[in-house]
Structure 1
Amino acid sequence: MDVSASAEGAFNVAIVIPVYNHEGAIGPTLASVLTYGYPVLLVDDGSDPVCRDVLIELERQYGDEVQLIRLEQNGGKGAAVKAGLRHLLAMGYSHGIQVDADGQHDLTDLPTLVATARREPDALVTGYPKYDDSVPALRYYARYLTHVWVWINTLSFRIKDTMCGFRVYPLEQVVSLLDREPCGNRMDFDTEVIVRWAWRGLPVENLPTRVHYPIDGVSHFNAVKDNVLISLMHARLFFGMLLRFPVILRNRFRG
């Protein structure tokens, strides 16, 4: 998974997949991702031994196409994505593509995400979901409450969805953001990082993508813990928005 020497500013893309106890889903997901020809970084978020061993075998099976790093303690999806993005930047990649391990993303949209990122290299390119009947009704309706808070906290409707984990990040910019501003380590990460990205006046590109829930029936969304974290995140962002109100307005009208 080496990045060949290239001119400064080259567009080099790799995929990061955070994994926590998705031993049944990660094999098919990884095989599907690899058909598109991009190198893959698996981030084992402190999985149990069964999943850990599956990931070690997948790295061995695919050789140079796949690299595995392991977090000794489970830190949450956000912590795993952060570790992966930092690792890709250190390896010399310009952009990191976030893909969930459970197979919910329609990978046929991957070339469109990459083409958009190539055309708009400074933009965070994010999918916004088009659901089928597999989506849990509670999650489907609850995410719209998050949309309302995001619209309030960004003073804008330009972000169509903040909870979809199918994204392309410009690595230098996002790692700089993560080094300077707090972002949640669990299911609150996807929303918080894109709101803070928007606060900086950085561009966002939204692309529709189909979403299916999930192929192994495993969800690590904790209805109590994660909803509390998400509620605290929205409160934190609201007060952050108030402090940044003039700057957010200036960036909005300048953009």
Structure 2
Amino acid sequence: MREIELIERSLGDFFTPSILKIAIIPFLVTLGIMIIIFMGVADYSLSSLDQVIIQVQNGEEFTLDPNAPFYYVWAVNILTFLLHYSITAWLAGFLLFTVGTFFILFFSIFTTLIIIGFLTPMIIETLRKKHYPEVKLKGHGSLVSPILVALKSLFVMMFLFILFIPFYFIPFVNIIAFNLPIYYFFHKLLNFDVTSTMLSSSEYKEIYRSQKNLFRFRTLLLYFVSMIPFITLFSTVFYVVYLSNGYFLELKKISQNRLEV
């Protein structure tokens, strides 16, 4: 099956009533969490930081609210330091934009990937009954495996963020340096979520040896889609559908090859 046909099949599966019902769950849960967080930090929003920036630039004195959250105090202290020196003042805007973008992007991806982990077995079983009734699923891993994979991926992602710091200030290169760690985290969690549900360890290794670049391309394509603001809130189920269809086709090839032998 050509890639465009796989995408068309996955889109057709996604827009069925059974899958759309599942897609509503991560959307509502993630949206609810984001609203709660927004309400919690509303008193110390970017407008407050803008006022601090204006006061520092005008040489005015300002005092921090002793009850201010730690993240607000941290942000103000860094911005104040940078704004006192003309050579680093331009970094203030860069930090605000970068940190804000990172938080919204990573939070939406991280939250929806965690939620979708509980829904993946339902999605895969629905696809199996519809297109691949002859395929037997042999998931691998344990109850703690997703936690270990998530922690390991998070650690590597943070290490990459620190490693790439020198590249953040180089135009165009910083785009790759900023997104590569997040893509690594995205790929690891999404790929493990699907493969651990439907493939045995030996089946995964067999497919990974010959098709790892193909599935990296697919997760990279999905990551680009997730760059569209807030689309991850309701499109994560499609990610699972798309990858699952891809792995189902590879699993069918393995089964057919075994029968021929």
Superposed pair shares fold, TM > 0.5: no
1 or 2 for the larger relative contact order (CA 8 Å, sep ≥6)?
A: 2
| Structure richer in strand, relative to its length | 1
Band of TM-score, shorter chain: under 0.3
| Structure richer in helix, relative to its length | 2
TM-score (norm 1): 0.27
